[in-house]
Amino acid sequence: MLKAVLFDLDGTLADTDPLHLLAWREVLAPYGLKVDPAFYRERISGRLNPEIVRDLLGLEGKEAERLIAAKEARFRALAQGLRPTPGLPEFLERIREKGLLWGVVTNAPKENARHVLEALGLRPPLLVLAEEVGRGKPDPLPYQLALRRLGVAPEEALAFEDSPSGVRSAVGAGIPTYALLTGHKEEALLEAGAWGVLQDFRKAMELL
C-alpha cells in the first residue's frame, strides 16, 4: 500500500535546468568550456558540484569552492518567478487528501534548495540534502535515509526524478520510480531503471 511520495527538486518540481545550464555556461566560459544542452545532460545534470568541477577542471579545495559559490549565486539570481511543473499543485493536493507522506530528496546545495522551495511556495515535511548525507545521487543513500526518516518500506513509496542519476538513486533504494521528461531523453531514463516516463504531473494522478 502506498504511504509516501518522494520528489527530486531541480527539473522535477520546477524546470530549473535551463537556469542551471546558463549559470554553468557563464562560470565555465573563462576556462574555455562551452556548455550546450548535450554537454549539460552528459557532464553536469544530476551530479554533485564538487564532482563536476573536479571532473571538468581538476579543481578541488578553495578554488573549487569559489567557483561553485559563484555558479550557485548566479543560479539564484536567475531563479526568480519560478513556476511549478504543470500538474504539481493538484498532485500535491491529492497526496494531502489521501493522507500520504511526502518529501524532497536532492543533490542541490542547501541554500539553493531553500530558494527554489520558497519560490514555489512549498514546505515539504521532509527535506533530504545530499551534502548533509555525505553521498549524493546516483548513490541510493539519500533515498534510503528518506525512507528511514518517514518510516516506510521501499515498496510503500513512489519517487519522481528527472535525470538518470536520480533514477538510479531511487531505484537503487528499491523505490518504484517515474521520470519526468524535462531534461533527458526517454531512453536514458528507462535504461537507468525508471518504471515509466511522464511529461509532467498531470498524468501522475493515475499512479496514486
User: What is the pTM assigned to this prediction?
Assistant: 0.89
Average pLDDT in the 156-183 region? 96
pLDDT digits (tens, 9 = 90+) for 47-74: 889 999 999 999 999 999 999 999 999 9
Residue 60 CB contacts under 8 Å (≥ 6 apart), including other chains: 50, 53, 54
**Is the distance from CB of 104 to CB of 127 less than 8 angstroms?**
yes
Residue 199 above 90 pLDDT? yes
Residue 115 CB contacts under 8 Å (≥ 6 apart), including other chains: 76, 79
pLDDT bucket at 177, cuts 50 / 70 / 90: very high
Percent pLDDT > 90 in the chain is 92
Say how many Å lie between the first and final Cα of the chain, rounded. Answer: 10
pLDDT value for 183: 85
Residue 169 above 90 pLDDT? yes
pLDDT value for 48: 87
pLDDT value for 7: 98
Give the active site residue among 10, 15, 17, 162: 10
pLDDT digits (tens, 9 = 90+) for 1-50: 999 999 999 999 999 989 999 999 999 999 999 999 999 989 998 888 99
Give the active site residue among 8, 17, 139, 162: 8
Cell 553521498 belongs to 135
Please say if 10 is a catalytic residue: yes
